[in-house]
Structure formats: structure tokens, C-alpha cells
Amino acid sequence: MEKYLYLSLLPEALIASHLSPEEFGAYYATGVFRRSCGQAIFFELDKNFKSDFLPVDRIDELCQPHEDGSPHKSVYLAVYRVLEHVPLSAIKRLYVVTSDGKTLGLDEKPFEPDGEKLFMYQDLAPIRPRVISVLNPAEYVKRITSEDRLVHLDKFAFCDMKLGSLETDPENGDLGDLPYKNSQHLRDCIRAVQTKGKRNNKIFMRTLNGEILFRTIRRGFYVGDASGMKYYPLPSRDDLENKYYDWWRSALANFGE
């Protein structure tokens, strides 16, 4: 029975399983008896990567089929400080799962800046603040993982989110269909990072309380450290509506933050 190794971002955990990514996504979001629901985001990892910190060498021992021959759905190998110990090279596809278990696989693509000057990032692991920044994703990764800073992360995953007309008019721009709470604070944060000579990043929300609305994702997901960054773009709206409609329809049904 084939084994898979997954790195969950919500919550941060290393999990071995006999389930394929799509099956694992459905199981992880809705449980063994399909009685729960909850969004999931996870990477598929190269199960052969080596680590002194994580017990990846025990996968074969721990992830065995059940006595009745049924697959082992999840074996938690580690929780907490997992991402920082997984090399970027071991990270393969990213899977985003809606709360009712529809799974969409995203492939890595080279990142090209699109010239935008203002960003909102939702950090996913290891911590989950929402940040307003004037740095593009590549610059943001460099900044957050820079060892020159007193507070930094070794490696982290995040996504960028839409700001609508606030990008051009933070004072009066309408949020339109963007569901963010504390809109006045959001405008304050944008003003703070846009004021020359002040900071590049400003925390808008200390932690994510609920689920992310996938429709508010701007370009996609990122994972990076000081050595580099991997970028997983979300398909275009047209592709979501035509090629991946089952997933997109389910994503639109979610309540989120």
C-alpha cells in the first residue's frame, strides 16, 4: 500500500497516510465518519527527505495498514516546529481543501512580481497574523526570514489577499465584496505602511480566527526561507469556474474571515 507524507499548515503537523492527496483532503476536512467540516491546507512532501529533527525514518514502522487491511488514514509524526525542519526541496504540490472536503491541487510556478505596490498577507504557518506590507512576496519572505532581525522565522508559508479599491484609495475605497472586519483599522494600517520613512509591514490582525475565504486570495500561496521561495498560484477565475467548478462552488459556500 503506497504511503504519502503530508505537511499540514492548519494546524502545523507532519502526517503519514495511505490515502492519496484527494482522499486525504476529504478525510482531513470532514473526518473518518464525515461528520465534521473544516478547511485544510497541506503540502505533499517527498517522503524520502532526511531530517535529524523529524521522525521521517519511522514512516514504514508507524504507517501500517489496519488489521483488517484497511489503509491507515493518518499517523501524526510531529506537530509544532515542523515547517522549519522541512527543506524547500522536499515540498511538492500544495493542496487546498474546502470545509466539505473538495480538494484542489496547485503546482509550483516561477514567481514574477506584477508591479503591485501594496499587499495583504495571511501567514499560515508557523504563526498566523494578517499583515499589510509594501513588500512583494519575494521581498516579504526575505524580510521575515532575515537573520538580521531580532524576530524572524526560519521558514514560513503564507498567501496574499485582495485589497480591492483600497490598493489605490485607502481613505475612501470601497471594500466591495471583501469581507474583512475592522475596516477602519485596515485603512490605518495601509496608511502606516504607505507613509514614507515608516515601517514596511504592519500587523492588521494578530491571528486568523476562522477560515480563509478562498475567493479573497489574490494570486496564490507561498512558502519560503532565506534561501528562496516557492509560489503556488491559484487558477484564474475563469478556470475555477470552468475547469475546477466543483471545488470553486464548494469554496464559495464557506463562511470565513
Residues that bind other proteins (CB under 8 A): 26, 30, 33-35, 37-38, 98-101, 175-181, 213, 215, 241-242, 245-246, 249-250, 252-256
For the CB of residue 63, give the shortest distance to other proteins in the complex, in Å.
Answer: 21
CB of 123 to other proteins, least distance (A): 20
Query: Which is nearer to other proteins, 53 or 245 (by Cβ)?
Result: 245
Beta carbon nearer to other proteins, 169 or 246: 246
Query: 119-125 and 91-97 as β-strands: parallel, antiparallel, unpaired?
Result: unpaired
Please say which residue, 103 or 201, places its beta carbon nearer to other proteins: 103
Choice between 68 and 255, CB closer to other proteins: 255
Those residues whose C-beta lies under 8 Å from the C-beta of residue 164, and which sit 6 or more positions away, are 173, 174, 175, 176, 177, 178
Least CB distance to other proteins at residue 222 (A): 23
The minimum distance between CB 120 and other proteins, in angstroms, equals 15
Q: Which three cell numbers stand for residue 242?
A: 470552468
Question: Shortest gap between Cβ of 227 and other proteins (angstroms)?
Answer: 36
Number of neighbouring beta carbons within 10 Å of residue 143 = 15
Q: Which is closer to other proteins, CB of 119 or CB of 248?
A: 248
